Chains A and B, each alone.
Chain A
Amino acid sequence: MSQFLGPLDQAGRVPPRQQTRVAAFLVSAHGALARRLAFALPGQMKAGWQTELNAQFYRESETVSLLLRATSWTPDLELLLLTPSWEAAWLPAPASGVSDVALAHTIDIAALGHAVQAAIRPAALLPDNAPAQDPFVMALRRIEFESGRLMQAQILFLKGQELLPHRDAVNAAVEHRHRQVGDLWDAMLKSIGVERDLAPP
């Protein structure tokens, strides 16, 4: 096990099998967020924060599109089993303890967004010697950078005054999504020889 992707192949790339597995996971998670945002948007036409929802929708779509283009894909039969399990995990799970159903679903979308954008740090997987101009390397760095900005909308919403009465439920929902996303991400990484929790050197 290594803390980082690699070793790099003879062309200096992250091995295509690792690229494929990582990109498939990210496409699944960010694609799910894009789909849920697409469904949520029409109901928010009069809300001031539709600006943020709209931006999030297009950013998540951009992440999917970028990965489809920048990844050196290779056939991976295990994805036939892995992808459905990932997709099942992203299904709506309205925050428990919140009686307003619409609000409970919105909290869940934000919680899932926070988990995907905060707990997953794809650029932190890159080894020191990863070539800066490689498309996959650039894509992972961009996704992590943009995730840092995107999660601000989730933070503002989840820590906002409106949800103060539901603070425990919100906290539980976000912690649950973080554990879920983190566990799936870790399992996927282990399957390609990467363990992110290795002690620092």
Chain B
Amino acid sequence: MTDLTMDAAMPFLAHGSHRIRYEISGPETGPAYVLVNGLTQYSELWATYRETLVTQNFGIVTFDLLGQGESDKPTLFIGQDDHVAVLRLLIAKLGDRPIFLAGISFGGIIALRYAIEYGETLAGLVPMSTFSELPPQLFLLGNAMRTGLILGGTGYLQDMLLPMNLSDAWLAPLMDKLDTVKRQGWLVNDLYALQNLMESFLDFQPLTSQLHRIQLPTMILNGEFDFLTPRALHETLRAHIPDSALIIIPRAYHAFTLEKAALTADLLARFANDVLEERWNGGGAVRIAPEEAGGEIIPFPAEFDHLRAIPARKAAP
């Protein structure tokens, strides 16, 4: 029977003078997943993962990044190094157990940075909808989002992100309830704090040249239709992280951890079990996830180019 004794109501971790709200669920020993939020998220959005993975005997750690949700919000300056330092503290609290680190989008970068610096403390890494450099499209999109936040507030940023990051299938039944969908995120995220998080990219240095330092099993997840962080950005991760595989999530956009939570949680569990049972062999493979949890993960057809949206044959080497 699963031991839930580690469930604790909103404990806080001290990072300097700041408090970080975190939550640990599930068994006190055995493998654990640490889940890192995207920019406008808060830790409650991982509820499905907690429910699914705890029943499979994983410990689950969620937290609000510095500047998010119930964690402290530094008034002017938040560096990405601060988030890495918080992760270091949080992971150290978990003791000697296999730790898997997964992060989405902004959180994916923090996870990559942590894995580059402290990979030896991890058993596996799952970067999702993320990137190691800022090519022009993403840089300009980021700037447009920052301007949108400044001129139109958090609500406008949410208005931009919802249709960019979620599918018609997810949005259609919620069209008359979108204000409710956005409200909790709007309530817990303050404009100045979001702006500080975004401005931590103003001096962003590409991570690509350091990715080879990630010497641990790595499952890269990318939505089929993610145009905010498209396939090419994940391809960079696949090409430079030695023991990695790229898994494409069918019909998914940037925020597939919200839209396809059951499927993603299942993929996380399967990855961790493969690593723990020494079945994992990333090998730079490209694979296609199933449509539903529990389905078969299949190889991307070898003769086709996985960077194209049409079935173009691979160029001869």
Which of A's residues lie within 8 Å of B, judged by CB?
114-115, 118, 121, 124, 128, 144-145, 148-149, 151-152, 155, 158-159, 167, 170-171, 174-175, 178, 197, 199-200
Contact = CB atoms under 8 A, between A and B. Distances in A.
Interface in B153-198: 153-154, 180, 183-184, 186-188, 190-192, 195
B75 A178 contact: yes
A144 B151 CA distance: 12
Interface string B63-81: 0000001100011110000
B42 A114 contact: no
B150 interface: yes
Given A145-B153, A178-B75, A128 B44 contact: no
23 contacts: A114-B75, A118-B190, A121-B190, A124-B186, A124-B187, A128-B183, A144-B153, A145-B153, A148-B150, A149-B151, A152-B150, A155-B192, A155-B195, A159-B77, A171-B75, A175-B74, A175-B75, A178-B75, A199-B70, A200-B42, A200-B44, A200-B69, A200-B184
Given A149-B151, A199-B70, A200-B187, A171 B77 contact: yes
Nearest to A159: B76
A53 to B, nearest CB: 19
Nearest to B69: A200
Interface of B: 10, 42, 44, 69-70, 74-77, 150-151, 153-154, 180, 183-184, 186-188, 190-192, 195, 199
A148 B153 contact: yes
Given A118-B190, A159-B199, A200-B42, 10 more contacts: A114-B192, A118-B191, A124-B186, A148-B191, A151-B192, A159-B77, A174-B75, A175-B74, A178-B75, A199-B10
